[in-house]
Chain A
Amino acid sequence: MPQITMKGVSKNFGDVTVIPQFDASIDDGEFLVLLGPSGCGKSTLLRMIAGLTGITSGTLGFDGEDVNEWTPSRRGVAFVFQSYALYPHMTVRENIAFPLLMDAFRKWHHIPLVSSVMRWKLMRRPDIVERTNQIAEQLELTPLMNRRPASLSGGQRQRVALARSLVRDPSLYLLDEPLSNLDAKLRTQMRSEISTLHQRVRKTFVYVTHDQVEAMTMATKIIVMNRGEIQQIGTPDEIYEHPANTFVARFVGAPPMNLLPVRQQGQQLTLEAGATFTHPGQLPADKELILGLRPERLRLQPAEQPGIPVEVSVVEKLGAEVILGCRVLHPGGGQSGDLLRQDLVFVRISGNPHVAIGTRASLGYDAAGVNWYSPQTGKALHPAAAPLLSCSA
């Protein structure tokens, strides 16, 4: 089972550079999620690992061996497509057995007409029948074996696609947004099924998605990408708690991390709106900073307590928690000018307390839950004494 290494991998389509340079490695048994907005090159990267798309420059290695020129089949990977790519003219049984048949085919079996005869013969070979049935049973497809993909539901098709990729027992599973065509409820269910599958087969999974919830729930390691470049590599916890830059901070988490541009004077921080408050801990050296706070790190306090002065303008009740959208107040007491929602500071409160719109309050937080970013580079900054908790590759 390979350790996958990518050294200086890049991809151009004509004049357009999709991936300028990519360096990363994937360990055996890992569940790696490539996370990023659409158009960030994550699918291209996955297709390059599979061998479906050529590599413009750089080296892709399996256990140190250069596999750039290996055919997809030689790489021994399984690929689950977003559209499932089931063979519409074959039954579920034939779909699942197809990779086994291809492995059993000799070269001359591919001669037209001979291939049909061989397929017919091999579909009856005991070991192939047994393996197909076994996989179908694992994925609860046994009653559907003689149906065609067109008559299956989305979730069933998804399971057939998984079964087809499992049947060859490959060492590397590549999944390209496999859940994006499912409805929300089924997605949650399939998420845990895929996680269970990963734990059972103990193989390497590389999973592409733009959905940060999928990434957070399934990954052992996440690579966040944007515009073909790695933004951060880390465990879900690292990515969530210590985003390496403002892009990751905004992309991961819903609602996203609050990013407040501030100016520091000693322990005093001044917001753009003019409000001033005291930071309860250490600060980086820079004068201009971006204060990053997850919504759940903020506390709603009575207005007279120290903190960021706000007025509640949006209340979203989700049952187990309440999301508040707050507008920062001017020192004089008025609201800051813009009415755009993105200027809201989000606060997540667990439970179901009643908060009225228009309530004036102060937002408090602990120094431990704070991330700092440079307004110029967008990169994370650290208070002098704090250890480096995350870094980009």
Chain B
Amino acid sequence: MNNVHQIPTRLLHILLVLALTVFGGFPIYWMATTALSLNSELYNSGQVPWPQLANLPSMIAELAQLPLMRWLMNTSIVAVGTTVLSLVLGALAGYSLSRFKFHGKGILGFLMFMTQVVPEALILVPLYAMFITLGLLNSLFGLVLANVGFSLPVAAFIIKGAIDAVPYEIEESAVIDNCPRISVLTMIILPIIAPSMAAAAVISFFAGWNEYLFAATFLMDRDLWPASVGLASFVGQYETPLSAVMAAALIFSLPAVVFFLLIQRKIVAGITAGAVKG
């Protein structure tokens, strides 16, 4: 009787997993399929619903028409800058929140939580005005400064959580060994929590990598465009070189997908921890 009962449940389970996989994976599959199609097929004769590897050379040729390398270079600069600044400031904030008692600790925690609620668009105009004054408009560095406000708190929460798990005694031991607090942080604590630092780095990196709104607003110069702005510039245009755009989008997505899949658990822990603290 048990078996009779189980077969429909198992079938249901398989169908469910299948449906979810199609829903979750189809857009990426379609991205690849479109990239490996000819534009004539896409707009006229109808798309072939599987990837045609034979079209790879023509796709590469079309891709060469796009300034993808420059876009990705700009994106990388922004992402690296965002990562470095987020980690440095996040380490200071995370260490303070974990180890120190100070006036305004609660306020700092609340402000950091707030950043996760504030929409980017809400501070866009004042930031724009401020960047005009500071001469940071149309500069990748300015873009980094804008991005870090959102990625720093997440990095700080991840780092704080990791430092909470390091025993005080290791730090006290270093203090007795004549090690000042800054070196306790840089030479003892940060190497110990290296895996969490890596997770914070990945999150900050892809916050900078994926960012669109600030980049689209603050960068006028086409040469400074990161890939997000470059790719988005095709939205709403007629006669888009669609297969090349899809190929570029795929290349642009690939690093994010790989790294997010690698450290998915850490990211989830970091984001939820930040939300719980607030």
Residues in chain A within 8 A of chain B (CB atoms): 50-52, 71-73, 77-79, 81-83, 85-89, 98-99, 102-103, 105, 110, 112, 115-116, 119, 164, 168
B186 and A78 contacting across the interface, CB-CB below 8 Å: no
Docked-complex contact A72 and B186, CB < 8 angstroms: no
Q: In the complex, what distance in Å separates the CA atom of A52 from the CA atom of B194?
A: 26
Which B residues touch A78, using CB under 8 A? 176
Smallest beta-carbon distance A162→chain B, Å:
13
Set of chain A residues within 8 Å of B173, measured between Cβ atoms: 79, 81, 85, 87
> Pick the contact of B192 from A88, A119, A164 — CB < 8 Å?
A88
A59 CB to closest chain B CB, in angstroms?
21
Assuming the A-B contacts A115-B187, A119-B187, are A52 and B170 also in contact, with contact meaning beta carbons closer than 8 angstroms in the complex? no
Taking the closest CB of chain A, its distance from the CB of B253, in whole angstroms, is 34
Q: How far is the CA of A102 from the CA of B167 in the complex (A)?
A: 21
B→A interface (CB under 8 Å)? 167, 169-170, 172-180, 182-183, 186-188, 191-192, 194
Give Cα A99–Cα B188 distance, bound, in whole angstroms.
13
Top 10 nearest A-B pairs (CB, nearest first) are A73-B178, A85-B173, A85-B169, A102-B178, A99-B177, A89-B191, A81-B169, A112-B186, A72-B176, A110-B183
Smallest CB–CB gap between B158 and chain A, Å?
A: 18
Q: Is the interface of A mostly helix, strand, loop or mixed?
A: loop
Q: Are B180 and A110 in contact (CB under 8 A)?
A: yes
Contact of A112 with B182 at beta-carbon distance under 8 Å, contacts A52-B175, A79-B172, A87-B188 already known: yes
23 contacts between A and B (CB under 8 A): A51-B176, A71-B175, A73-B175, A73-B176, A73-B177, A73-B178, A79-B173, A81-B173, A83-B167, A83-B169, A85-B170, A85-B172, A87-B170, A87-B173, A87-B174, A87-B192, A88-B170, A88-B192, A99-B178, A102-B183, A119-B187, A164-B177, A168-B177
Instruction: Give the docked Cα–Cα distance between A112 and B185 (Å).
Output: 9
- B190 → chain A closest CB, angstroms: 9
Expressed in whole angstroms, the minimum distance between the Cβ of A123 and any Cβ of chain B is 12
CB within 8 Å for A89 and B172 given contacts A73-B177, A102-B179, A112-B186 = no
| Separation of A324 and B218 alpha carbons in the complex (Å) | 88
Report yes or no: A81 in contact with B172, Cβ–Cβ below 8 A: yes
Min C-beta distance of B66 to chain A, whole Å:
38
Contacts of A52 in B (CB 8 A): 172, 175-176
Closest beta carbon of chain A to B194's beta carbon, Å: 7
What residue in chain B is nearest A73 (Cβ atoms)?
A: B178
Contact status of A110 and B182, CB under 8 A, knowing A85-B167, A89-B192: yes
A50 surroundings in chain B (CB, below 8 A): 176
